[in-house]
Amino acid sequence: MIKVLIADDQEIVCEGLKRILQSDPEIKVIGIANNGQQALDLINHQTPDIVLMDLRSKACWPLLAMPIMNGVQAIRQLRKTHPDLPVLVLTTYMDDKWLFDAIRAGATGYLLKDRPRHELLEAIKGTVSGEAYLDPSVAKKVLNQVASAPEPIQFDESIEISERERDILTLLVEGLSNAEIAQRLFLSEGTVRNYLSSLFVKLEVSDRTQAVVVALRRGLVSF
């Protein structure tokens, strides 16, 4: 059973998320926090397996962060007190400042609230199992940063990957989820996960984001 803590200051959002998550028999919502500080307090008592963290709220006040302590501040503090606790950002915002601030603070993944239910559930399960999940639209921003970095890209012949593994890496670069990759390549999601596990070993990485960065840097795929 995956124990989830939700941190969002909009009550209707929290209740909707709780219903969606608890429709999955493998997930249980153990607490709801209305601000970053409350989330930190609850984590010390509830011991969740993952935190769903909003960054800021109140769309009509674009400069107003989640009251008392915003999501980025809470993530930064969590990395000091609970360094191994996965934090999946779930927000409506994808502007560069909040995105990169959250990643630098130590967010494990970043998902927009308009993604379908099955992707949210997949992101939670993947993040708990060690993946770093990035919303496809957000992934492109991160990869653009990587691609524009001054470090030269050199093809690494020492890494041997199959054509199918290269296909999967290419789709990872495009920001596709496991389900979307499976559909595109006419594979099962389990088969995609097996290919990814093999790629992680070959690339000496622990998650899909690192795999894409290494693949781009070593010239295994192009962007």
Domains and CATH numbers, the chain: 2-133 (3.40.50.2300), 144-217 (1.10.10.10)
Q: Write the pLDDT tens digit of every residue in 87-145.
A: 999 988 777 778 888 888 888 888 988 889 998 998 999 888 877 788 877 776 776 66
Of 134 and 4, which is predicted with more confidence?
4
Residue 150 sits at φ, ψ, to 5 deg, of: -70, -15
Would you say residue 54 has pLDDT above 80? yes
pTM of the predicted model, to two decimals? 0.70
Would you say residue 78 has pLDDT above 80? yes
| CB burial readout 158-180, b (16+ within 10 A) else e | ebebeeebebbbbbbbbbbbbeb
